[in-house]
Amino acid sequence: MIALPLWVNSKGKRYVNEEVALALMNMGTVYCQLRDGISWTVFDEDFLENLETRGSALAMGEFLQINKPVLNARPEIDENFAQGDPTVAKACTIDVPGGTNGFAHTSGRIAGRKAIEIIQE
């Protein structure tokens, strides 16, 4: 089983148990509690590869359909990153984007990961 991505607020702090996505009717309430309405999704290479090959166990509108591979996620991330989109960042450790995206400094590192992708949702 692939873990759910990590959701953090604009200060880089986890603000919710990500399993709330299993009951989508609760998502609106969760987002309304964010002061600035900004949520970042943090995931690793394994998560992205799973989306591309197996798809998602959850459906979220047109973007995520159950067990349907998401083939456009990586190209969109790469294109937006290459264009300097401030809502997309990449790092090999979680503390690299901390200084570049206004997150509070995080000293923890994620060992053994190929990459961390952070996209604003």
Q: Per residue in 68-111, pLDDT tens?
A: 998 998 999 899 989 988 888 887 655 544 455 555 444 333 33
Cα→Cα distances 20→41, 92, 120, Å = 14, 27, 18
Question: How much of the chain exceeds pLDDT 70, in percent?
Answer: 66
Indicate which CATH number applies to the domain containing 75: 3.90.700
On whether residue 13 sits in a domain, the answer given is: yes
Query: Is-above-0.85 flag for pTM?
Result: no
On whether residue 75 sits in a domain, the answer given is: yes
Beta bridge partners of 120: 40
How many domains does one find in the chain? 1
Q: Which domain holds residue 53?
A: 6-120
On whether residue 108 sits in a domain, the answer given is: yes
Amino acid at 44: D
On whether residue 40 sits in a domain, the answer given is: yes
Beta bridge partners of 40: 8, 120
Cα 18 to chain centroid, rounded: 11
Q: Is 42 helix (H, G, I), strand (E, B) or coil?
A: strand
Q: Stretch 11-16: mean pLDDT, rounded?
A: 82
Dist CA 92 CA 29 (whole Å) = 32
